[in-house]
Structure 1
Amino acid sequence: MKHYYFFLVFLLFNSCQYFEKQVPSEKELLQKELKAINWKEVDEYPSFVDCDNLDNKSQRELCFFEYLTELIQQKLSSDTLSILYPELDTIEVKVTIFPNAKMKFEPQFPRDSVAYDTIKIDSILHARLVDFPKVNPAIKRGIPVKTQFILPVILKVE
């Protein structure tokens, strides 16, 4: 009987290995998680302090874009851009917001932009588009990330 207990204990300890499940490697788990993430969307859009008090995500996004468009239009409305190029009524501006809350503006010109002095327009935009209020960068999974978008800005003649 003693041998049977010894045999049962031996069998019990050896049989545990048959019930073990294979644990996926760290790289497999990482690849699976990276594929599950939607890299084209952020969890929270960039925002200004004035828009942070809104509860709805889509309202904060809309508030940010309207506020930014309005600020850019105000800064460009008192400039000679509309006088130099009266046929230019809208400029598309590529806005980049970095994780450290810095903003960069680049004008986007149509392919047939030979009629415009792109270097002059670019220098005017860089000179005028400064001193913006503090912007909170976009958030993806709790981490500030770089975002880019193209914003159409209507030039107003006053």
Structure 2
Amino acid sequence: MIKKILIIFLFSIVTSSCQYFEKPVPSEQELLQKELQKINWSQVDEMPSIDSCGPIQDKNQRQECFFSFLTHIIQQKLDTDTLSVLYPNVDTILVKVTVFPDSTLKFEPQFPNDSTRYDKAIIDSVLLSRLKDFPKIHPAVKRGIPVKTQFILPVILNVE
């Protein structure tokens, strides 16, 4: 008899206690918000790159290869230009480079806030006219999706 009562008692505890283990299922929006908060939006999974830097496995070395290549190409394209003639005292120009998800590039010179000695329109036009026909650049990737990236490169003029 005691065994039957004990079995019935245990059975009722097991069947009624399941409700204590149930947890509310989060909504789709809650799950999405939690996942979005986990993502570091200020960093990309892969930086932009070019084919010649592709075989490099180390992320930092591949990034350095890309920046070196881009700086070298920009220096080459601006080397024989009027910037060194117009501004002989300027040896370095900062160029803001934007790589769009469709692999297009945009170049913008960056000037110090107190720079009134530069004709920004001339430098902009020189950059636009000279910085064309770049090799194929692969955009940065975040979670498997191409994304826009921006960075500032110091470009040395009059490289000899």
Which of 43, 46, 55 matches 2:45?
43
Aligned to 2:7: none
Structure 1: how far apart are the matches of 2:46 and 2:81? 33
Letter in 2 for 1:144: P
Structure 2: how far apart are the matches of 1:103 and 1:156? 23
| TM superposition score normalised by structure 2 | 0.87
Which of 71, 75, 78 matches 1:76?
78
Aligned to 2:103: 101
Aligned to 2:5: none
Which of 127, 130, 145 matches 1:128?
130
Structure 2: how far apart are the matches of 1:146 and 1:68? 16
Any idea what SS the aligned residue of 2:40 has?
A: coil
Q: State the 1:17 CA deviation.
A: 3.6
1:10-29 Cα deviation digits (max 9, x unpaired): 99776644432111111111
Structure 1: how far apart are the matches of 2:50 and 2:40? 24
Q: Please, which runs of 5 or more residues in structure 1 have no aligned partner? A: 1-8
Contact 1:82 1:157 in 2 (8 A): no
Q: Percent same amino acid at aligned positions?
A: 65
Q: State the 1:108 CA deviation.
A: 0.6
Aligned to 1:56: 58
Aligned residues: 155
Structure 2: how far apart are the matches of 1:84 and 1:33? 52
Contact 2:98 2:105 in 1 (8 A): yes
The Cα RMSD (Å) is 2.2
Aligned to 1:150: 152
| TM superposition score normalised by structure 1 | 0.89
Structure 2: how far apart are the matches of 1:65 and 1:41? 16
Any idea what SS the aligned residue of 2:146 has?
A: strand
Q: Please, which runs of 5 or more residues in structure 2 have no aligned partner? A: 1-10
